[in-house]
Structure 1
Amino acid sequence: MHSVLQRANFIFAYTLSVLAVLTFCCFISTVFLNYTTDVDVKTVKVYVKNVPDYSASRERNDLGYLSFDLRTDLTHLFNWNVKQLFLYLTAEYSTQSNALNQVVLWDKIILRKENAVLDFKNINTKYYFWDDGNGLRNNKNITLTLSWNIIPNAGLLPNVFGTGSHSFKFPAEYTTARM
């Protein structure tokens, strides 16, 4: 009654429908989990220099140097639907020219089989802390926050902020020593 092509099409469509329902069940089983955790981040050394930015213009801009300590346990974030975590440390501050500045200073990818207990001491930033002017010197309210994206097998890609942040200030004078 039905040809072989029609039967193969039915089996293929049915298989895709079953896989779509199973993928949705995988997604719904982990979407309501709480992915926040406590993060302890502290700055160790903080310097600011006024140097020329040759990449954009010849103007002198502020360049911040800092090293930090980071401690957190992310093992409970991993379940069967989590492939990896993408961690990133951001600095948020305000200047006279911009109400909100956000700079990514450090990042790390943690795979499922890696150790997710982080205990870093005196680690340097991975990326430059440039300001598009002179807003870092004597800035008293810079906040470091650790955030992460959860890369799932199926479902949404949540952006989660860690509980706990660290505020610090840059010195009032520029540093002239080489770093």
Structure 2
Amino acid sequence: MYSSLVRAQNAFGFFTTIAFVVGVLIAATDLFAPRTPSGTVKATNVQVVLGRPHYYSTRKEEYAVVKFDLDADLSSLFRWNTKVLFVYVTAEWPDRNVRGAGAANATNSAVIWDSIITSPSSDHLANIGPATLKKLRRSAAGKSIDPSRGKLRLRNQRPKYQITHPSGKIAETDDVVLKLHYNVQPWVGLLTWDQDSDLGVWKKMKGGLSKKFAFPVLKSKKQEGGSPRGNTAA
């Protein structure tokens, strides 16, 4: 009953219980830290091309390329428990092909750009060079979090991914909007995403939605092919 193995098991059980309780308390501190994200996004150049959007595509199809401007202040999302902030922009538009009860809420959504922003405490996890890492550490010296980490200013940004549709047709689509999203990955706790309504001191995204625009008529393209990466609307 009081063997060394039993005592080791009891000590380990006590340790894991304490670690779990401390982890819960750490995660709970995020609930009391205000989140006030804001941003503006605007489409600056929109084209629809007939070609092969993926390097592995076996047929030509229509795909859209959307350049955009982005101004965002997500610095309030960086707290001492923040490990990584994932930021991405989607293009969304109503799905006119859906019939029935769900037609009103049917929406196509495709990611056109994304970025990973690390906190100073997790810079070593980022795939960056020694010179950039040294610069980031210097900028964060003496600060719990460098506020500039969450501030983005992009002008006429090229998309990382093109927009396609399962039907292969995407030209002359109306009511398209760009939307800014984020995902916070903490050191301890649950992943959290942007929210549609205020939750205590966590505020919903202020702005972050572009004006409606349309995918234009198909642009002729002499050469086949495209970027090696693409994104298909769901």
Offset at residue 134 of structure 1 (A): 5.8
Please point out which of 193, 196, 206 is paired with 1:163. Answer: 206
Report if the CA contact (8 A) 2:51-2:221 is conserved: no
Percent of aligned pairs sharing the same letter:
29
| Residue aligned with 2:63, SS | strand
Give the equivalent residue in structure 2 for 1:100.
107
Offset at residue 9 of structure 1 (A): 2.2
Cα-to-partner distance string for 1:106-134 (whole Å, 9 max, x where unaligned): 11000002632111111100011112336
| Residue aligned with 2:218, SS | coil
> Does residue 1:147 correspond to 2:184, yes or no?
no
> Does residue 1:122 correspond to 2:165, yes or no?
no
| Residue aligned with 2:23, SS | helix
Report if the CA contact (8 A) 2:85-2:185 is conserved: yes
Higher strand proportion, which one?
A: 1
| Stretch moving more, 126-135 or 84-93 | 126-135
Distance 1:137 1:34, change over 3 A: farther
Which runs of 5 or more structure 2 residues have no equivalent in the other structure?
A: 99-105, 121-135, 137-148, 196-204, 227-234
Distance 1:52 1:177, change over 3 A: closer
Please point out which of 198, 203, 218 is paired with 1:174. Answer: 218
Distance 1:159 1:134, change over 3 A: same
Tell me how many residue pairs correspond in the alignment: 177
| Residue aligned with 2:219, SS | coil
Q: Distance in 2 between matches of 1:44 and 1:146?
A: 15
Offset at residue 175 of structure 1 (A): 1.7
Q: Distance in 2 between matches of 1:118 and 1:36?
A: 15
| Residue aligned with 1:156, SS | coil
Which runs of 5 or more structure 1 residues have no equivalent in the other structure?
A: none
Offset at residue 135 of structure 1 (A): 4.8
Give the equivalent residue in structure 2 for 1:63.
63
Q: Distance in 2 between matches of 1:52 and 1:70?
A: 28
Distance 1:22 1:52, change over 3 A: closer
Offset at residue 94 of structure 1 (A): 2.3
Distance 1:49 1:176, change over 3 A: same
> Does residue 1:9 correspond to 2:16, yes or no?
no
Whichever residue aligns with residue 10 of structure 1, its letter is N
CA RMSD after TM alignment: 2.5
Distance 1:110 1:77, change over 3 A: same
Q: Distance in 2 between matches of 1:53 and 1:117?
A: 31
| Residue aligned with 1:168, SS | coil
| Residue aligned with 1:91, SS | strand
Offset at residue 57 of structure 1 (A): 5.5
Offset at residue 47 of structure 1 (A): 1.1
Give the equivalent residue in structure 1 for 2:83.
83
Higher relative contact order structure (alpha carbons within 8 Å, sequence separation ≥ 6)? 2
Higher helix proportion, which one?
A: 2
Report if the CA contact (8 A) 2:39-2:72 is conserved: yes
Q: Distance in 2 between matches of 1:32 and 1:120?
A: 31
Q: Distance in 1 between matches of 2:69 and 2:187?
A: 31
